[in-house]
Amino acid sequence: MAVELKPANAIVVLGAAVWRDGQASPSLKRRIRHAITLYERDLAPLIVLSGGLGRHPPTEAQVMGQICAEAGIPQTALVLEDRSTSTFENVQFSADLLWQREASSVIVVSDDFHLPRATMCFRYLGFTVQGSAAPAAQIPGSWHRRLRAWVRELVAWPVYRAMLSRRLTRIHGTHAP
């Protein structure tokens, strides 16, 4: 049973690979299409497109912006964060842009295995956060990749929690939740 999303100030889409030809990878396409659907359901007035330059240009944010433009999303609804190269930077740089717009509630869009860590990061930075997973690809043999992704997340979770705790201690002089 899916959890009903509540309206938020912004939808934040976390990037994924851009292919050699400058096209969005299947994961990036699924994420941005899901975010467009949420925007069209009037769940938020802004979409933050978060992703810098990976192995191939252009940036993930630019590719997502192009897909949004082709879908008819107004440019005024898009905020591009095109510097990040990791989940930590996705959250950190997006948070800066969100605070500038006085946006304190977000719906984070990524893959299901990535959402627990991504939402934890936003929550640590003081956001009211909901996660919404892009529909999983049903590709024969893809279970190997999904298993690797889940294992990577299990390893990354405590590392990110420690990084966030240290960051907040430096900022506020106290320990994070």
Domain boundaries, the chain: 10-140
Q: Which amino acid is at 54?
A: G
CA–CA gap between residue 133 and residue 67 (Å, rounded): 18
Q: Which of 36-50, 66-80, 122-136 has the lowest mean pLDDT?
A: 122-136
Query: In the chain, how many H helices and how many E strands?
Result: 5, 5
- Residues 24 and 18 sit within 8 Å (Cβ to Cβ): yes
Looking at residue 151, what DSSP letter applies? H
Q: Is the pLDDT of residue 61 over 70?
A: yes
Tens of pLDDT, residues 78-94:
999 999 998 888 999 99
Strand positions, DSSP E, the chain: 10-14, 47-50, 78-81, 105-110, 128-133
Q: Please give the Cα distance from 64 to 146 (Å, whole number).
A: 23
pLDDT at 171: 40
What pLDDT, on the 0 to 100 scale, is given for residue 133? 92
What the block records as the tokens of 120 is 């934890």
* pLDDT of 173: 42
pTM confidence score: 0.80
Question: Can you name the CATH fold of 10-140?
Answer: Rossmann fold (3.40.50)
pLDDT of residue 165: 59
